[in-house]
Amino acid sequence: MALVLMRELAMDFGMMMEMELRKKISNRTTVTEFLLLGFSDVRELQIWHFVGFLVIYLAALVGNLLIFMAIAFDHHLHTPMYFFLMNLSILDLGSISVTVPKSMANSLMNTRSISYAGCVAQVFFLTFFVTADFSLLIVMAYDRYVAICQPLHYDTMMNSRACVQMAAGAWISGILNSVLHTGNTFALTFCGGNMVDQFFCEIPHLLKLTCSDSYLSEVRVLAFSVCLVLCCFVFMIVSYVQLFKSVLRIPSEQGRHKAFSTCLAHLTVVSLFVCTVAFAYLKPTSSSPSALDLVAAVLYSVLPPIVNPIIYSIRNKEIKAALRRLTGCR
């Protein structure tokens, strides 16, 4: 009799475990697509959104491609600073291509859906490009620091091998950070709906859709990553203070003006980038979509690829000369 009871209990326990497993699998596979935030439900405004993003995307595409080609094909620009700038143009092209084309396509086709795989791809590549972009901006700040504060050692410290290693380090840091966050985010169970309150798949808004207690681990990792970015930014500010002190000692007024304009432009780009990323990922998420969240996302994912070519070329005589030689214009 006892054996029969034990057998029945074991069977009941096995059935319960099987049902729980099926329930978990069902929950994990319930979400096959996500619905992104639309800029408007009015058809005319959707068309205007498509046209606006198309102009922005083409401007970023043309600007970054021109800088890349000018540096690649002009031997006068084969220096460390322009090597890093060429890498920055590639990363900017990648980051804006992750989010904007999908948003344009949704507005044009009057839909808001993105597949599960497409959302994973967006999170992976956007995290990769944003991380690598910031790492490269730090490298570029170090390059300017060495060039202005230690000009006699510049050729030794920023030789070809060191430049390639630093650029490779920026790309590798992007890959590692992207694998970490993408793996942590999509290992969670999504059962809180499929409405993402953003025009692309952003990790804080995806975490609102999870019903797993382990999402707190990804929140901690996100907070640690953003705090690390802020620490690097503070270190960069300290470096710029030393750099500005060296600039003030330059005897030539023209030399001081050139150094200040280059450094201030770089610091402006980095400040805008870091502040908007920190706001987007450290701000407590709300239950309803916020216009401020949308603006912050545009500022760190869409604006830098447009602004960087302008800032780094509009006052740079060497870049403008290379572009004239490339296009054949006098």
- Most confident range (mean pLDDT) of 17-21, 77-81, 122-126 is 122-126
- Residue 68's nearest CA partner among 90, 94, 92 is 90
SS percent in the chain: helix, strand, coil, step 5: 80, 5, 20
pTM greater than 0.85: no
pLDDT grade for 121, boundaries at 50, 70 and 90: very high
| Average pLDDT of the residues in 93-105 | 92
State yes or no: pLDDT of 264 exceeds 80.
no
Closest CA to 99 of 196, 184, 30, 174: 196
Q: What is the mean predicted confidence (pLDDT) over 175-195?
A: 85
For residue 163, what pLDDT is reported?
93
What pLDDT shows up at residue 287?
Answer: 61
74-86 pLDDT, tens digit each = 888 888 888 999 9
Residue 101's nearest CA partner among 64, 134, 58 is 58
Q: What domains lie within the chain, and their CATH numbers?
A: 52-113+126-327 (1.20.1070.10)
List the one residue out of 132, 101, 282 whose CA is nearest residue 200: 101
pLDDT one-digit tens code per residue, 45-65 = 889 989 999 999 999 999 899
pLDDT of residue 329: 63
Q: Contact at 8 Å (CB) between 99 and 199?
A: yes
Instruction: Give me the pLDDT at residue 301, please.
Output: 86
Q: Say how many CA atoms lie within 13 Å of 164 toward its Cβ.
A: 4
- What mean pLDDT do residues 284-301 have? 76
203-240 residue pLDDT tens: 888 888 887 666 666 777 777 777 788 888 888 888 78
Contact of 207 with 190, CB cutoff 8 Å: no
Does pLDDT of 164 surpass 90?
yes
pLDDT at 124 over 90: yes
Q: What is the pLDDT of residue 54?
A: 94
Three-state secondary-structure class, residue 210? strand
pLDDT at residue number 73 = 86
Q: Is the pLDDT of residue 22 over 90?
A: no
Nearest to 43 by CA among 102, 99, 100, 111: 111
Residue 100: the pLDDT is 92
Q: Which of 168-172, 181-185, 226-230: highest mean pLDDT?
A: 168-172
Least confident span in 83-92, 156-165, 214-223: 214-223
The pLDDT of residue 192 is above 80: no
Q: What local confidence, expressed as pLDDT, does residue 255 receive?
A: 66
